[in-house]
Amino acid sequence: MDNGKGAFVTGQYPNLLERYGYAPEEIEARLADAWRRLFGDDERTRIYYPSGDDMGYMLDTGNLDVRTEGMSYGMMMAVQMDDKALFDRLWRWTWTYMHMKDGVHAGYFAWSCAPDGTRNSSGPAPDGEEYFALALFFASHRWGEGEPPLDYAAKARDILRACLHNGEQGPGYPMWNRDNRLIKFVPECAYSDPSYHLPHFYELFALWADEADRPFWREAAAASRAYLPLACHPETGLAPEYAYYDGAPNDERGYGHFYSDSYRVAANVGLEAAWFGATPWMTREAEAILRFFADKDPADFRRYRIDGTPFEEPALHPVGLIATNACAALAAPDSPHAREAVALFWRTPVREGERRYYDNCLYMFALLALSGRYRIWMPAA
Ligand SMILES: O[C@@H]1[C@@H](O)[C@H](O[C@@H]2CO[C@@H](O[C@@H]3CO[C@@H](O[C@@H]4CO[C@@H](O)[C@H](O)[C@H]4O)[C@H](O)[C@H]3O)[C@H](O)[C@H]2O)OC[C@H]1O
């Protein structure tokens, strides 16, 4: 399906694991096993907790809070795995406790709550809103619309409307800079987080958001595709956690280096390649990341300057980094280091212990993407 501006939904998704020689039944078993470990009752690995009769939340086990990031990730995983009951539980929790109905951030979601639903902050984090919106569109296309708040597509459009128009008729701020079309780190700031840039999502928002906003989403996809090469180091491929609008690292708050947030850039490039094909820059970017990590011992992953200089500080989420590096292979499947990055991921189990939440989210996404199970769900014909 052509969206009129270049992105082409083929309905075909590469199963890179199979192409690299892993047996289909082992891939299916690995998916089922990871799903059970994250969403079942294994206390060592779980990141999902049911709550009451019809709700549930994803726990950031390292910070003991519930984040829009994790809730939206859980919903995206649930729709990909065709688990409507889980999706609805997560969305009801999100709607009940995180959605802000008034105030300067009306229409957005409080980025962090306690597991009992108490808000830790009344600020949003835009990566949550963009994942909520696409997960809700996919849910609508897979399962149809329900009664509010399960009127998925209507809710997705409401979220995207707030993201672009908050502040136009009163106090508030859009999540995208309306002039340069770049996503912001938080609505009230004037810089970005490279790992929030999801041009492959914006192509789909351009199909399904309010009609008047569709041109903006198309332009946002182009703007993000132009931004990422500015933010990623040309030799190492590494991106900082936060970056200015010209792509330069923003270290004002100590987030100007390659660390936890940044890992997602490789996963995003890999998924975009799986959905819409890789541009030459995406392939170069993936190759650079794969090359940079090819001689690094995962037991000694660190925080790095984007030029590759290591800090003393170890990586907080090494399993997550293994997972996102493996995803890069989707944009550069013939790169000399791609198979080994995927093999390392395949040898790595889901993470146990206190810090497992972020790693295991990235792990599940990698498994879905590498097995061709992370898909675009189009509206029923
Ligand atoms: O008043 C506002 C604050 O509300 C505003 O809060 C920021 C909201 O976004 C937060 O970013 C989320 C958390 O970090 C990222 O992922 C983490 C990566 O490291 C892992 O260890 C961790 O488990 C992950 O959750 C998420 O992608 C973001 O959604 C940010 O941390 C808050 O500071 O800040 C500006 C104030 O003016």
What's residue 231's pLDDT? 98
Q: Is 246 one of the annotated active-site residues of the chain? A: no
Residue 68 CA, closest ligand 1 atom number: 29
What's residue 381's pLDDT? 76
Other CB atoms closer than 10 Å to residue 102's CB: what's the count?
Answer: 7
Residue type, 155: K
Closest CA to 258 of 290, 218, 196, 301: 301
Per-residue pLDDT of the chain (381 residues; tens, 9 = 90+): 544 444 678 789 999 999 999 999 999 999 999 999 999 999 999 999 999 999 999 999 999 999 999 999 999 999 999 999 999 999 999 999 999 999 999 999 999 999 999 999 999 999 999 999 999 999 999 999 999 999 999 999 999 999 999 999 999 999 999 999 999 999 999 999 999 999 999 999 999 999 999 999 999 999 999 999 999 999 999 999 999 999 999 999 999 999 999 999 999 999 999 999 999 999 999 999 999 999 999 999 999 999 999 999 999 999 999 999 999 999 999 999 999 999 999 999 999 999 999 999 999 999 999 999 999 999 987
What's residue 122's pLDDT? 95
Q: Does residue 122 line the site of ligand 1, with CB under 6 A? A: no
Asked whether the beta carbons of 56 and 71 are under 8 A apart, the reply is no
What letter does residue 147 receive in the DSSP assignment? S
- Tell me the CA–centroid distance for residue 305 and ligand 1, in Å: 20
What's residue 10's pLDDT? 77
Count of CA atoms in the C-beta half-sphere (13 A) of 146: 14
Cα–chain center distance at 159 = 17
ipTM: 0.94
Q: Does residue 100 line the site of ligand 1, with CB under 6 A? A: no
- Tell me the CA–centroid distance for residue 248 and ligand 1, in Å: 20
Q: Does residue 203 line the site of ligand 1, with CB under 6 A? A: no
| CA distance linking residue 116 with residue 160, whole number of Å | 27
What's residue 55's pLDDT? 98
3-state secondary structure of 369: helix
Protein residue with its CA nearest to atom 1 in ligand 1: 123
Protein residue with its CA nearest to atom 5 in ligand 1: 123
Residue 127 CA, closest ligand 1 atom number: 29
Q: Does residue 129 line the site of ligand 1, with CB under 6 A? A: no
Q: Does residue 208 line the site of ligand 1, with CB under 6 A? A: no
Q: Is 295 one of the annotated active-site residues of the chain? A: no
What's residue 7's pLDDT? 61
